[in-house]
Chain A
Amino acid sequence: MLDAMNAVTATPDSTPTLSGDERAVLDGERGPAPQLAMRIVVRMARILGARELVPVASAHIDGCLYHGDGGVEFAERLVSLGGKVDVPTTLNVGALDLLNPRRVRSDGHRREMAFRQMRAYEALGCRPTWTCAPYQAGHRPERGQDVAWGESNAVVFANSVLGARTNRYGDFMDICCALAGRAPRTGLHLQENRWATVVVDTGAINPALKERDVFYPVLGTWLGATVDERVAVVTGLPGTATEDQLKAMGAASASSGAVGLFHVEGVTPEAPDLATALGGQAPKTVLTPGAHELRRVRDALSTTGTAQLDAVALGSPHFSRDEFSLLEALLPREPFRIPFYVCTGRAEYQRLETSGRLRRFEQAGVEIVADTCVVVAPILPARGSVLMTNSGKFAHYTPATTGYDVVYGSLEDCVRSAATGRVTRDEGLWS
């Protein structure tokens, strides 16, 4: 659930203190579904050494993605017990594109079970957002609010960019917190665990590179692999760093390591200045990544040096309105020569449809995938072997989940390469 909590040794008699309300739920006075959920939340609180529970303002559910029939059975059990979420709750991606069912290749059993799982979570009262970027689909908790979010990129965004407070609540724990309206009060819910202990000084990096989108997934990948679950404050980034750049950085950091929270001096809400981000303490570690080091990380995001390309995939985390605008401005006159996927949430998809912009993308050969994405569902061409992406998260997970080799490049590189079917990358800023 939360790696920062792994350091906590289980003390067998640390039963959390419950309020009267929480006790009533645990005793079944609000029905069997909240009771089951509260039982699991309390047992987990005990294992984690939490002294009490914390009310949560919202939840984001990662557990709606099909991993096997047990997960479906659990969700349907909660439905059969009459379960309804206690707080506003959004849903992460499922294993199917419900808007274009033929987009995902899967056999009868898997398809049926994945569908049942998605429907069960809807029946529990969750909003069918089906996106890994709920924070760009209207779900934006306030600074300081305790929430129970799943999906590693959403967790790091909620903590870092919004200043909300959540641990990494994965499968089962996310929906239990949503049904119980509570989470164990531990980890990143506590201020003392949110101060940075590591300073990452990017002063040695070419300022022009730091203005570019392609820099942020690389910095994120380096950050995750280097600091892992420790909280870092990054200094020396431009004050103009965009939300999408921070989103890409966070997603990459949570792929290469167990990052749940980072700060950016002068940019993110808990880091107006360095001293505040550090909680007035001296840092335990100061790191100064150099240009060569980041170049190596950037190179390692690609698993092949081949020029031949079979597909491009963007949108991990799901593409935002601004990212679609950037892509639209780059679309070539001739349609792409290879499959070109962009994954997004249905809210964004429907906005494109309503505004008439969807046609423009489709004419260029862009296939827009909604509700799911290319690394969690079989979407990429079965015969292909090399995928290009501008996403650090896709680059990290593609080889293991799809069997494809991967090439990392900028958005512009991806567009240019898809136009010819051969990898073209602008090496300028990296040398």
Chain B
Amino acid sequence: MELTGAPVHAGEGRGRLLVLERPLSFWGGVDPETGRVSDPRHPQYGEPLGGRILVMERAIGSSSSSAIMLELLRNDVAPAAIVLGSTDAILVLGVLVAEELGYASIPLIDVGRDGFERIRDGNGGHGRVRAGAREAILRVALP
């Protein structure tokens, strides 16, 4: 399956899909050192984000989530790419700062709500994200 979307931040990434069943605030919800979901109330508590294509309907919560995004990149436990159902200005900020500091970078793309619905059952599948200046593509091999 192939989805097109709007690039939020350019780059390439591939990995196993992790589709979040519920929105997640990175601050208070992701351990910046291990990259695992750390909110015990989240249904995917304990799941590692590192190296995954992280698919989320929307990012929620504290604007300090950009700081957690930065730490994930610094500690090499960040997702390989983030696919969003609506544009987010918080996580991408952590990626921009990471670039300024010379850390690794990852692509973020917005596939819209419809796009998210098409891949919401994609856990276990593999994905590849390519985001350029004007166009972004997610290729998915569903399980």
Chain A residues within 8 Å of chain B by Cβ, number: 40
B1 contacts partner chain A, Cβ-Cβ < 8 Å: no
* Chain B min CB distance to A184 (Å): 9
Residue of B nearest to A173 (CB): B93
The 3 closest A-B CB pairs, nearest first, are A170-B63, A68-B71, A67-B67
By the criterion CB–CB under 8 Å, are A1 and B93 in contact?
yes
Name 19 extra pairs, CB < 8 A, besides A1-B66, A6-B88. Answer: A1-B89, A2-B89, A5-B89, A6-B58, A9-B112, A10-B87, A39-B100, A47-B92, A67-B27, A68-B32, A68-B67, A69-B71, A70-B67, A70-B70, A70-B74, A74-B101, A170-B66, A171-B93, A173-B93
* Residue from the set A5, A171, A173, A258 with the largest chain B CB neighbour count within 10 Å: A171
Q: Which of A12, A44, A400 contacts B93 (CB 8 A)?
A: A44
Considering only residues 92-118 of chain B, those with a C-beta below 8 Å from chain A are 92-94, 96-98, 100-101, 103, 110, 112
Residue of B nearest to A400 (CB): B28
The 0/1 profile, CB within 8 Å of B marked 1, for residues 1-28 of chain A is 1100111111111000000000000000
The contact size tier of chain B is: 35 or more
The 0/1 profile, CB within 8 Å of B marked 1, for residues 235-261 of chain A is 000000000000000000000001000
By the criterion CB–CB under 8 Å, are B89 and A6 in contact?
yes
Residue of A nearest to B9 (CB): A47
Give Cα distance in the complex from A231 to B93, angstroms: 25
21 contacts between A and B (CB under 8 A): A5-B89, A6-B88, A9-B6, A9-B112, A12-B135, A40-B97, A43-B96, A47-B87, A47-B92, A67-B71, A68-B32, A70-B67, A70-B98, A70-B103, A74-B97, A74-B100, A170-B62, A170-B93, A172-B66, A172-B93, A401-B28
Give Cα distance in the complex from A63 to B89, angstroms: 16
Residues in B with CB closer than 8 Å to A339 are none
Q: A170-B64, A171-B66 are in contact. Are A1 and B90 (CB under 8 A)?
A: yes
* Residue from the set B62, B63, B70 with the largest chain A CB neighbour count within 10 Å: B63
Q: Which of A10, A77, A169 contacts B110 (CB 8 A)?
A: A10
Considering only residues 1-25 of chain B, those with a C-beta below 8 Å from chain A are 6-9
Residues in A with CB closer than 8 Å to B98 are 70
Q: A12-B134, A44-B96, A68-B32 are in contact. Are A73 and B101 (CB under 8 A)?
A: yes
Considering only residues 110-143 of chain B, those with a C-beta below 8 Å from chain A are 110, 112, 133-135
Q: A70-B98, A169-B63 are in contact. Are A9 and B110 (CB under 8 A)?
A: yes
By the criterion CB–CB under 8 Å, are A13 and B134 in contact?
yes
Give Cα distance in the complex from A131 to B66, angstroms: 21
Chain B: residues with CB nearer than 8 A to chain A? 6-9, 27-28, 32-33, 39, 58-60, 62-68, 70-71, 73-75, 86-90, 92-94, 96-98, 100-101, 103, 110, 112, 133-135
By the criterion CB–CB under 8 Å, are A10 and B66 in contact?
no
Residue of A nearest to B29 (CB): A400
* Chain A min CB distance to B16 (Å): 25
A373 contacts partner chain B, Cβ-Cβ < 8 Å: no
* Chain A min CB distance to B12 (Å): 17
Residues in B with CB closer than 8 Å to A62 are 63-64
By the criterion CB–CB under 8 Å, are B74 and A68 in contact?
yes
* Chain B min CB distance to A26 (Å): 14
Give Cα distance in the complex from A405 to B6, angstroms: 43
* Residue from the set A11, A12, A69 with the largest chain B CB neighbour count within 10 Å: A12
Residue of A nearest to B70 (CB): A70
Give Cα distance in the complex from A48 to B87, angstroms: 9
Give Cα distance in the complex from A318 to B123, angstroms: 44
By the criterion CB–CB under 8 Å, are B70 and A74 in contact?
yes
